[in-house]
Amino acid sequence: MRAMEFRAVGRPLEPVDRDAPVAGVDQLLLTVEACGVCRTDLHLIDGEVAIADPPRILGHQIVGRAIDGRRFGVPWLGWTCGACKYCTSGRENLCPQAQFTGCDIDGGFAEQTVVDKRYAFPLPDDAGAADLAPLLCAGLIGYRCLRMCGDAQRLGIYGFGAAAHLITQVAVHQGREVYAFTRAGDDAAQSDARELGAVWAGGSEERPPDELDAAIIFAPVGALVPLALAAIAPGGTVVCGGIHMSEIPAFSYDLLWGERQLRSVANLTRLDGEEFLELAPSIPVVSKTTIYSLDQTNEALADLRAGNFTGSAVIVPGTPMSP
């Protein structure tokens, strides 16, 4: 089968032909229909999140078909121990032995992949594979971040990429007011946010017209933390949704005072997945996608890095290469 392999930090993914993987006990062999590209893939390639045992096939927003035709979605969380204090208390996202798809386990930038059936979500047949793929990380981790904001009415979102795109739709559906913060001058992302129902969109250095109740930071930029804390009301929460962030600059305690909270969201639990995948079609959450073939995976990653599209990049292995 054709696959894109990570071999070393800082190097483009390598197109390779490999033997098709073989499913073991408790595993499923999936033919990949689509696999979303995530900012975490850039962090892996850049060495900001370590891959212990290369070569590795990246890709952790997989939509695939089993041999019997059933469709499954595979998220970042690929395996947990099931026995530790985290696994036995509804916090399997924190399991110290957890294995992550497209990082510790081969992922979906390939024609086929093998997954643990306990960590694969059944998906409906009546939606497009490329439309479903971004739900599996951008949507799901975005949803976990949104849950950590409690019942915040005025919600700030810093970094208007794939996760913000999907989670704005959920927040608006829940009757919240969304304030979208983008790179200064990113008119495309700001108009995208307004189209999705944001009541305000502006540059991340700007102060919003109203005090926020909570904010989610999806951009991997530590300098946004004090800005977001300054924008929220006493008692509000700032949630950092990314797996990696540049250093957070020192800030005055005044910004945290007033019972403001600062927290991260790490990974996901299967319960998050089940809840979100049930909720998404009822809204419905609509993905905005840019499609690439498997051989164009490096191009998709470069476009993500450069901010060349709004919404999500999705690899569709069946897509013929553009001339």
Residues that bind Zn ion (CB under 5 A): 38, 40, 80-81, 84, 87, 95, 137
The label of the residue with tokens 């102060």 reads 207
Min. distance of Cβ 78 from Zn ion in angstroms? 12
C-alpha span between 92 and 77 (Å, rounded): 9
C-alpha span between 236 and 181 (Å, rounded): 17
The label of the residue with tokens 């164009």 reads 296
C-alpha span between 236 and 258 (Å, rounded): 9
Concatenated DSSP letters of 23-76: --TTEEEEEEEEEE--HHHHHHHTTSS--SSSSEE----EEEE-TTS-EEEE-S
Min. distance of Cβ 253 from Zn ion in angstroms? 33
Min. distance of Cβ 272 from Zn ion in angstroms? 13
C-alpha span between 80 and 286 (Å, rounded): 30
Smaller CB distance to Zn ion: residue 136 or 229? Answer: 136
Min. distance of Cβ 183 from Zn ion in angstroms? 20
Smaller CB distance to Zn ion: residue 152 or 268? Answer: 268
Smaller CB distance to Zn ion: residue 82 or 235? Answer: 82
Concatenated DSSP letters of 160-210: -SHHHHHHHHHHHHTTPEEEEEESTT-HHHHHHHHHTT-SEEEETTSPPSS
Min. distance of Cβ 88 from Zn ion in angstroms? 8
Smaller CB distance to Zn ion: residue 29 or 81? Answer: 81
Smaller CB distance to Zn ion: residue 137 or 304? Answer: 137
Smaller CB distance to Zn ion: residue 87 or 164? Answer: 87
Min. distance of Cβ 76 from Zn ion in angstroms? 5
